[in-house]
Amino acid sequence: MAGGVKLSRIGIKYLMIILLVNIGVTTSFAVSRYASIDRPRYLYLEYQLIMQNEMPVFVMNQPYTEFEISQNKTNDFAKKLLSNQAARINSGEGISILINPGWQFGHNNTQTNSYPTTLLDGYFKIDNLIGVNRIYASKMLASDPGFHGDKSKWTSVNMFDAYMRYASSSHISFFAGRTARNYGIPNEYSLFLSNNPYPYDHFGLSASGDRIQFSWYFGRLNDMQGTDAKGLTIPIGETEVTHRYLAFQRLDWKVGKQFQFGLSEATLYGSPNQSPVAAYMNPLNFYYLSQRNQQIQMNGSWQINVFYYVPRKLAFYIDFYIDDLIINNEDGVVARDIHPDRLAVMSKLSFPDLYLPQTLSSLRYVRVWNETYVTWRNYENWVYYNKGLGFPERSYEGLKLESSYFGGEKWQTTLSCEVWRKGNKPLFSLVEDGEDSTFPSSPVTRGLTSTGKLHFLYKHLMLDMHISYEILATGEDVNDTNIGFRLGLNYRLKMSSPLQ
């Protein structure tokens, strides 16, 4: 009997230990919103990440979550970042709403605009579910040629974030809605999928361990008045309204404490009567094989990412994009001379505290081949409404030097200078085989763009200032200069309430 009592006590003891461990695991994680890809914040974040002995996030898969940021070993830094977040609930259930009324002034060579602005940012959290909305209202949107929304009213409105995330642990989460993503180098537009376009609706999941993370998402893009130069889906010379879909999958791997590798694949497909294709909704399918074996027309692309850093010294990034790599040469025919490769490459070196404490300096090179992002069918082009899904240009080459100074968690300045050249190749045209393969395609525009930015936050006031100067030239002559100035001032008013 005594032995039984002893065993019972031991059993209760271990049961209590297990319960305490489970409670500790449960309370150490709280589902959180994404830290929206805001350049001032992500510049500071990139700087602080490089200062760590071990990278706490999959650095080339953005946006990061607030939970991932809070796990940063520099606790003071995490607190500073979280304190500057527009709205947050931390780990408790509740509702949080931020209202950012303000005014924005903009000027360039051709026009001057001055309009009131309002940003509504809020979310609710119930148990393991979080819902997020972020809405921007201003007539300034109408001055953006890339904005696809209604510009006819007294103001224009766009919902940048509208999504739900469900996660009961830090290892797997489910997503449905709209937010901006950037698969590639932080603070640069990814060559694959970037935050260049206005956010689009998609759904999917992300699963991660200590060293590996897998992501898969699927969504429908905008309808487009489609043309087909090959006549496979639409008769040559005719146009029809086409339905467009996008699916993408990604694997991130922390090879070591200082080295990460990423691999992505995407399929963009459509036709006048296109419906979702099961093969392209399979999270673990190889899309190219489905195109070849099932003859399902699509535009497939791939991305390779490499990241290496020496803590507190430097970070090195590579973003390599493959739209189409010609390898099927026939006897006596060099196919690459007829069908040029459609590629893009970007590399960046970042140096913290290069010339002054609390600075981040970087040197970035990018080249996008002439026919990258386009196909024989315009509705398969790598675009969403009026903007590219990846890098904003094609037939483009540029070298940019940038430096940011963080005067504290409340303000920062950024200066950049980029020398570039680009050909006459819009993202909405079709592939032009047999044309002059000179890069960039003529006529070539050369440019020098210098920018200065100031981001300042004092209590409830937030100020953003952006100045740019651009010199444009074709041939040997300077054709034009552009001067731009933008100033925004907002007041932050936060309201939050716990759910009973």
40 neighbors 402 (Cβ within 8 angstroms): no
E strands, 52-111, are 61-62, 94-107
Burial class (CB in 10 A: 0-12, 13-18, 19+), 475: exposed
Averaged confidence pLDDT in the chain: 87
What would the pLDDT profile of 210-260 be if each residue is shown by its tens digit? Answer: 999 999 999 999 999 999 999 888 999 999 999 999 999 999 999 999 999
Among the residue ranges 72-81, 193-202, 289-298, the one predicted with the least confidence is 72-81
Residues linked to residue 267 through DSSP beta bridges, in sequence order: 247, 300
Cα–Cα distance between 118 and 84 in angstroms, integer? 18
Pair type for strands 61-62 and 94-107: unpaired
What would the pLDDT profile of 459-471 be if each residue is shown by its tens digit? Answer: 889 999 999 999 9
Residue with tokens 């071990």: 54
What would the pLDDT profile of 364-419 be if each residue is shown by its tens digit? Answer: 999 999 999 999 999 999 999 999 999 999 999 999 999 999 877 678 999 999 99
Region 113-142: what's the mean pLDDT?
93
Residues linked to residue 498 through DSSP beta bridges, in sequence order: 94
Cα–Cα distance between 360 and 414 in angstroms, integer? 9
Cα–Cα distance between 411 and 405 in angstroms, integer? 9
